[in-house]
Each structure stands twice: as C-alpha cells, then as structure tokens.
Structure 1
Amino acid sequence: MSRTVIVVIDGFGIGAMPDGGALRPGDLRADTCGHLLDHCRAANGRPLRLPCLGALGLGLVHPHPDLADRTSLPAAVGRAALGYPGADTFAGHQTMMGADFSKVVVARLGEHLDEVSTALRAAGHTVEPLDGRPLLVVDGRVLVHDNLEADPGINWNASARLEDLPFARILSVARTVRSVAPVARVIAVGGHADGPLPSFVREGDGGTVGLDTPASGFYRNGGLEVRHLGAPLDHTRQLPDLAARAGIPVTLIGKAADILACDAAVRRPAVPTADVLAHTIDAVRATARQSGAGTPGDAGAGPRTAADSRRGGAGPGPRALIVANVQETDLAGHQQDTARYGAVLEEVDAGLGELIALLNSPGDRLIVTADHGNDPTIGHAHHTREFVPVLIHRPEARGLEFLPDAHSLADVGATAALALGLDPAELANGAALPTAPRAA
C-alpha cells in the first residue's frame, strides 16, 4: 500500500526567513517553535511533550534543548521557504498543492484604485472614494477596502450590510474586483452591523485603510455570509486533482477541506483538533480496508516496476492522498496564547503517534509541515514569515536522511506526488526534493 498523508500544522514556523522583517522589522526575531518551547517550559515547569515530532527530526531543523537527541524514526528531514508573497494560509496551501503564485503580489487597494474603479464602472456600478481616502463606496452601499485582519496587502474585502443589499449583489461586486485584483484573495462579506459601515472605517498597518470588521458587529450579530475568491489558479495542475485523475482517493480534512479545490475529494471540514485528528486517522484506517488489488483506474495497481522504484515507488495496492490542516495552532497564535498553542501542539503530537503506527507499509508517507509562522510571543496578532519544517516518515527507509532546503512549499507537494507515483512535472509549480544519506 502507498498512502501519503500531509499534516499541516497551521502557523508552525521554525525561524524567520531573510525577508521576514520587510513589513515589520521586529519579525526578524520570529521563531514560533523556539519561543513556544521556551515559554511553555517556563510556564509549565517542564518541556512540551513532543515525542513524535522529536522522533521525526524536528530538533535537527530547529536545534533546541527540548528537542535534542530524540530522532529515532526512519525519516527525511528538512525545511522549506514559503515560496509565495506574505504569510497566508490560503496562499500557503495552494502553493503546497502545486499552484504557481508568481503573479500574485502584496498590494494595498490604494495602489490600484484606478484599475478597480474602471472595472466596476464598466460593470455598471457607481463608484466614489470615501471622504478622499483610499477605499471605494460602490452603489452607495458596498465598501471595497483593504482587509485589516491579515497582513497589509494580502487580501481585499467587499463589505456591506445585508439589510442594505442581498449577499448575491455584494458577491457580484467582489467578483468584479477579483477580475483585476493582483492580491491572493478578494473576500465578499455581508453581515449585520451596529451602524453605518463608514463609521467603522479606520487606518491599519502599512498604510492600509479598511473596515474594522470585528468592531462593526458583523461577527457577533449573526447571519454573517462570507465568500473567499482566490487568485485564478489552474486547479487541474494541483496535487489533489492530479491524484484524483489517477484514480487515487483524495480526502481533505479541517481547513484544507474549505480552501483546496478537487471535485472528487471527500471533505471533512473541522476546527477542533481532536476532530481533525480523528478524521485523519479514520481516513487512514479506511485505506487499510481497501482491497489489495487497488481501486478502479488506480495506476498503481499491479506488479511493481523499475519505474515505480525510481519514482519513489507506489507499489502494489491502493493509494490514497489525505491532506489535513490543524487550525487551532494558528488560532492560538492569533490570540497570542502560548499555553493554548502548546496544549494543541501536544495533542497534535499524540495524533501523529497514531498515524505513524498506521502508516507502516513500504511506500507509505507521513509528511508533517506548516504553511507559515504565527509566533504567539511576537507582540502582534498577524502571521509571521518563517521557514517551516518538512518532516517525512518513510517506513521502508533504514534511517535518517537530510533534505536540502526547499525553495517553496510547492516542493513539498511535488515530493508527495512522487511518493504516490505521479509525475511532479504535471504540477504547475514545485520540484520533488532529493535526499542524501546522513553523514556518519
């Protein structure tokens, strides 16, 4: 059997990238993993209990006394740069699955007012600035503005009160903005506010101006409607769709179920970590009940060939791709709550132990990684631009191997494609990581 499980620990960085301080110079000291370990030891009087992450080699890519001398599993160990602008969950997952984000940029709405206004007027809307500030009022009801909850320039919003407009009309405005927006996401937001939306407009970081959505009452007044419009991507050249077309069952769990595209995938959305882990473990157990003859159309069924071996070897038996996102680590980072983050990470580690026990056939892969950093000690509630770990459990390997630094999260997806016997060149982005034996 050849099953590949990707567990994304959302917001689990291992140290700032060289450009990590471009927006906030203080972010150059970001180190989600190291600061978390230090703070939890001080608060708990003991180190975090992370035996599986330690056994997978986390301490080799992030040297720390609490992770020393733990490596014991047959694993390939490395780290990855993000490979996309900013630090964003949506962009991180799309890149990891093989998307090319080279044309996506970080940009404030104020830098593109003319293009956005022209597109909206061409679509039949009235457009005017709000009190001369760099945001737009569309049809007298919809605010088009910088998203103030993400890093500056990552996302733009189109927001309106549902008592003023039905959500379908808000979404129509957002779609027109999306047609010319260079940023990763345009988000349509409709809700019930405590007053006129212009009264909740404020300045954000980095020269942004937008609606203070939490202050408006949208989140607490009920009836909130949201639609995320991502940058145009060729989802047929991402890992889930590529696997599905090869007859490989695909399961998307947690936030991955919400943000990754694949019509054939089984989706198990969940936020509580216990549910995410339970869905992941159940999905792996389900593959063990499949017939050894493989699934219909499974290119991996049948005798193992020399080409299989060269590809990383999807051998006889059914294959499966499972992608799970653990979101509560990221939520704890946003809340700057080291205690909660540490408790969730220990819960994740226990779940990894169960997955390692189940993924014990030659060709199986457990890939543990992240999508960006979210240092709960950094002094703000935004993501941090950090390297992330790449820890790959390989049951058939004899020992530990080191991976070169991945230039992009897309290399993680390409490596997973190789493990499934797929051609990484069919992805829009990424190159499978070569391995080298550990030095004696």
Structure 2
Amino acid sequence: MGRFIVIILDGFGIGYMEDTKIVRPQDFGSNTCGNILKNMPNLRLKNLEKLGLINALDLNIGIMKKNSSAIYGRAALLHKGADTFLGHQEIMGSKPKPPVEEPFSKSIDKIFNVLKKQGYSVEYKGDKIKFLLVNGCVTIADNIEADLGQVYNITTTFDMFSYDDLIRLAKIVRNNVKVSRVIAFGGENISIDEILNAAEEKENKYIGINAPKSGVYKKGYRVHHFGYGINPNVQLPTILGKRGIYVCLIGKVADIVSNEYGESIHCVDTKEVLEITLDKFKNIKSGFICTNIQETDLAGHEGNIQKYADKLLIADEYIGYIMDIMNDNDRLIVMADHGNDPTIGHSHHTREYVPILVYGKNLNPVNIGTRNTLSDVGATIADYFNVSATENGVSFLNSIYSNKKSRYS
C-alpha cells in the first residue's frame, strides 16, 4: 500500500446522461468539458490530456488529443439529479436514497410546532410565501441556489447565535424533513436585518435567503451539511479511519463528508487547496487524500467560461506536480461529481457523466468503461487498502494491474 489521492474537479462533466431528456430536460445538450473546449479551442491541459481526458470525452475538439497510454473511463450518477452533496456521498461508497422534493412550505408548520415544543421562539416571516425566524436571529427557508425543492437552508449571524447552537437546531430540522439536504451556516459582522432583507421568492412556490446578498460569506463563514439517509459507517473515510489508515479531506469535501477519524481542512481558493494537498501528499507515506476543487463549480454557476478555464489550468499544473512525486505504489484518480456547463443557459448543475482518470506506475493502459455509479471509486480505494467494502460500488482495481504485477506490490 502507498498513497491514494482523489482530486474532484467539481462540476466537470463530460456529456449529458441518457436519462436527461426525461428527468432533467433543461440539461439536454450539456457537456461541460466539451463546450469549454469548443469555446476555447486553444486551451491545453497537458496533464489531464496525459491522464486521458480526451479519451473519456471521446470528442475531437481543440488542440488536446487522446493518449494511448491512459487509464480512463466515465461514471454515471446513481443519485437523482446532479448534486454536490449526494455526489460526494456516492463517491465515498454510499448508495443514495431517493429524497423527497418539496418546498419548505410543506414542512413549515411541522417544524414550527416541533421547535416550539423544544423551547425555541418561532415566528412566521414573509408575505405570500412564509419562512421561519427562530429566536429572532435564525431563518429556516428554501435553498434558492440549488435545485429547488431539494435543500433547506438554516441561516444565522454568529454575532447573535453560536455555531454549536446552530448545529443543535439543524439536527432537529434534519430529523423532521426528508429533503436531500439541510444546510446550516452563518457569518460574523452581519445583522439579522441584512439576512431578512436578502429573502427572495422563486416560482411563486419557494422562498429563501439569497446567501451572497445576505453577507454571510464575508467574515467568519461556517457551514455544515446534513444529508438524508447517509450512514458514515459504510463510507470510505470511516472504514479507513477505523483501521488506523490516515484520511485527509481538503476543500468542499471537508464540509460535506463525515471524517470522524481523520483530518478535514476547509478552504475554497483553488491554489490554496492544491498547495495544501501537495504538502499533505509529500508528508505521508501511506493514506488517503481527497481534494475538491470548488471554484470550477462556482465558475459554472456564473456561466463564466474563462474563469472555469483559469481554474482548470491551476488544477492541471498541480496535478502534474503530484504525478511527478508519485512512487510505484501511489495511485491518483481525477474525476468530477456532476456537470456544471457554463454554456447551457441556466445556473444550476447539469446531469452529466463524469471522467474517471487513473494514474500510477506499472499499470495497464485500459478503458474501464462506463461505471454505473460514482461509488466504484470508493469501492476501488477500499480494495486498494484491503479493508472492508463500502456499502455501494464495484472495484475496478484488478483491471488496471498488469498480469506481472501484484495489486498490492
């Protein structure tokens, strides 16, 4: 065993899934990677090219070419929709359970009564559509940035309500709703009036706090994501951690994946995330590192092709640094969690296949095909470390080793 590192280029899909026409018609025609290269034909990501990005994309666009020595494939999203939280849980080996999709208005009275019984001060806010204000400083409402109906936000100012109190409140809400996610977050040096003034309605059905407008990101931002039907005990970080194997989650993955036995480092800036990743990789002899590059996804939300390409170039550079210092036993996977096509005409994630690009010395060049779930990555890493299997996924470890080499050599 050696070091196994996964780099997730958040939102970097390689073409819409077959079911998109039926389940997400707004995403039909999406191809995050392909459309970026189409708009920027001179963009060259030399290390991703070496890893087989164009092989996985299977389109001749721009100056990048296929590599006959690559180990590559693609993976479908097993979870419904195209969600960062569920995508990462799936990568870690969970089998996503279908959540309920409904506006917060469907649960508002239940949550109001539950919180009242718990001793909270609760009041309704809003005109036509209502949301909740708790203890005069915490809002509970729809998330209006994600796919509508899948996420509820709990927003506060830490000048009036502590992070620990926020987590306690969020757990009560989570236990009483069945949507995909409950996200609890807040910031410092903001007033509750600023939060309330950022309330916006969508589609005459949803109401939520516009998070950037509220000011929560400006100082002291902290966040925790609570998913539906997620059991950390059958996920890769917990399985490895219980065996005493080092686990480090860096970037957004640290915000959304449970890692009780390992190290979680929260940051967003692409260069900072990758500098930390490189440093951690250099300073361990064995273990698992998973890094999320969030700013690609943010550029997709903005519809900003140039910004997306700039972040890819930074990631590509650092991927090269990591490849250069890998030893015979180390393994690297570069992948994504969903798509976020900046050219598609809307600001949400896109339901796309994602690339699975594998690198290591003494491995077979091979097309590992279309995997049915992102969980095949988690299953493969569990197989590599020879630990118990994740809840979901099929390992492709054996297919990338030559007949002359032991998989644990």
Please confirm whether the aligned pair reaches a TM-score higher than 0.5, indicating the same fold. Answer: yes
The root-mean-square deviation of aligned C-alpha atoms, in Å, is 2.9
Confirm whether residue 430 of structure 1 aligns to residue 393 of structure 2: yes
The whole-number CA distance in structure 1 between the counterparts of 2:244 and 2:63 is 39
Quote how far apart the aligned CAs of 1:432 are: 1.6
- Name the structure 2 match of 1:257: 254
User: In terms of mean alpha carbon deviation, does 192-201 or 30-39 score higher?
Assistant: 192-201
CA contact (8 A) 2:241 2:247 kept: yes
The partner residue of 1:412 within 361, 377, 381 is 377
SS of residue paired to 1:404:
strand
Q: Which has the larger radius of gyration?
A: 1
- Residues 344, 120 of structure 1: CA spacing in aligned structure 2 closer, same or farther, 3 A cutoff? same
1:204-219 → structure 2 map (5 Å cutoff): 204=202, 207-219=205-217
- Name the structure 2 match of 1:25: 25
- Name the structure 2 match of 1:293: none
The whole-number CA distance in structure 1 between the counterparts of 2:353 and 2:151 is 22
Give unpaired runs (5+ residues) of structure 2: 401-409
User: In terms of mean alpha carbon deviation, does 326-335 or 105-114 score higher?
Assistant: 105-114
The whole-number CA distance in structure 2 between the counterparts of 1:395 and 1:327 is 28
Quote how far apart the aligned CAs of 1:168 are: 5.3
- Name the structure 2 match of 1:345: 312
The whole-number CA distance in structure 2 between the counterparts of 1:263 and 1:98 is 16
Confirm whether residue 242 of structure 1 aligns to residue 239 of structure 2: yes
1:196-235 → structure 2 map (5 Å cutoff): 198-204=196-202, 207-220=205-218, 222=219, 224=221, 226-231=223-228, 233-235=230-232
Quote how far apart the aligned CAs of 1:366 are: 0.8
Equivalenced residues, count: 396
The partner residue of 1:359 within 301, 326, 337 is 326
The amino acid that maps onto 1:27 is D
SS of residue paired to 1:374:
coil
User: In terms of mean alpha carbon deviation, does 144-153 or 200-209 score higher?
Assistant: 200-209
Confirm whether residue 59 of structure 1 aligns to residue 54 of structure 2: yes
- Name the structure 1 match of 2:172: 176
Give unpaired runs (5+ residues) of structure 1: 42-46, 291-318
SS of residue paired to 2:107:
helix
Confirm whether residue 330 of structure 1 aligns to residue 264 of structure 2: no
1:23-422 → structure 2 map (5 Å cutoff): 25-41=25-41, 47-65=42-60, 66=62, 69-75=65-71, 77-125=72-120, 129-130=124-125, 131=127, 133-138=129-134, 142-160=138-156, 169-190=165-186, 192-193=190-191, 195=193, 198-204=196-202, 207-220=205-218, 222=219, 224=221, 226-231=223-228, 233-287=230-284, 290=285, 319-361=286-328, 363-398=329-364, 400-422=365-387
1:349-388 residue CA offsets vs partner (Å, 9 max, x unmatched) = 2222222222240x43211111111111122322222111
SS of residue paired to 2:371:
coil
SS of residue paired to 1:405:
strand
- Residues 280, 163 of structure 1: CA spacing in aligned structure 2 closer, same or farther, 3 A cutoff? closer
Identical pairs, percent: 37
The amino acid that maps onto 1:50 is L
The whole-number CA distance in structure 1 between the counterparts of 2:367 and 2:314 is 26
The whole-number CA distance in structure 1 between the counterparts of 2:20 and 2:131 is 27
1:81-125 residue CA offsets vs partner (Å, 9 max, x unmatched) = 122223222222122111232153443223334543443344244
SS of residue paired to 2:337:
coil
CA contact (8 A) 2:10 2:337 kept: yes
TM-score, reference length from structure 2 = 0.85
- Name the structure 2 match of 1:7: 7
SS of residue paired to 2:193:
coil
CA contact (8 A) 2:137 2:192 kept: no
